[in-house]
Structure 1
């Protein structure tokens, strides 16, 4: 991680769960972190957990809104300069049906919000982050927080359109790598796919179900960032011991 000391990382969905853990671990490794979320208060509170040489700065941003993302990255450029690391973590999981065959159909607004936050947001943020890296002639790293539900469809229908968005992240990550390779660009892209994680989402609410801690995922992110400039981990799947497919 030495080459990232003093560099700038942008983390979306930074107010809780995996995003909050990533912010703290990066800052403790000496990275200056810009945490993005719709609520900035919880990000500000993370500063008390920083024991290393990095910093955490909160910025309000709704990654599903084109205008918010553009304004935020313009502010980051003015305030910090280059985006060296981009962690696309913001995500939402809403239980309910896609259609009316059951009695728990999600509204169209809810379904679209899952797509906008989980898929549109990472694409928009990656575009801006790569533009920053290129304008500063820096070979940075894009990390997309995916899910094992982006590689197989769980039997439970509660995952509804969520798994579609995560399959989208799998395709987006691979497509982005192809584009960068076509132009001999050395910016890295990694898809990190955790199994169940104990966060604010209700999927792992049962204490008897094996699940990761947010810090476990944060440690995995630091692991992929620590690889040499000539090595890229395209996909990393991380699950708790004894986890079984849903």
Structure 2
């Protein structure tokens, strides 16, 4: 992917890591395969893309790039639902990795910024994948409150990218006003 970006666009100036995956795999009875899949997508893929984006910026002397990790409110608190506990652990990892990245970028004496955007419930297909055996439950998740929309997420990204070069926005936590946790 990064090779194609280099060929087509010279490289990456802004990287938005937006992949996220949850499987209903509780800690006491979850399947190892489901846990590995969540780790691979939510932690490893994000880390690999971050490394490759940084290398692309470094090769081209980009000193004002930005790496934005789309996280989750589950990366800041653990919901009382056993099916999301392991997912929460992967999102806590995203929180820690974003702060670690910010620190490494400072050590590298670069002005590339790192930001985490942590939304609550966004109206996507996410709940349908989490509750794939119960589509009615998934639909009810989105009908229970007025959810965030993709446009809200895009606006958060634009806000982060429009910050002056001397401003580091570390984490935006956003949730629907009706969401309890």
Please state how far the C-alpha of 1:82 moved relative to its aligned partner. 2.0
* Alignment-derived partner of residue 231 in structure 1: 167
**1:94 equivalent in alignment to 2:28:** no
- Partner residue of 2:139 out of 185, 202, 205: 205
Runs of 4+ in 1 over 4 A off after TM superposition: none
- Partner residue of 2:39 out of 115, 121, 132: 115
**1:194 equivalent in alignment to 2:119:** yes
Figure out how many residues of one structure are paired with residues of the other and give that number.
169
Q: TM-score, normalised by structure 2?
A: 0.88
- The CA distance in 2 between the partners of 1:181 and 1:114, in whole Å, is 29
* Alignment-derived partner of residue 57 in structure 2: 133
Please state how far the C-alpha of 1:238 moved relative to its aligned partner. 1.0
> Which segments of 5 or more consecutive residues in structure 2 lack a partner in the other structure?
131-137
Q: Whose RCO is larger (CA < 8 A, sep 6+)?
A: 2
Say which is worse superposed, 173-182 or 195-204, in terms of deviation. 195-204
What secondary structure does 1:205 align onto? Answer: helix
* Alignment-derived partner of residue 154 in structure 1: 79
Please state how far the C-alpha of 1:242 moved relative to its aligned partner. 2.3
**1:216 equivalent in alignment to 2:152:** yes
Deviation digits for residues 150-184 of structure 1 (CA, Å, limit 9, x no counterpart): 01111111203110110000000000111111222
- The CA distance in 1 between the partners of 2:95 and 2:19, in whole Å, is 15
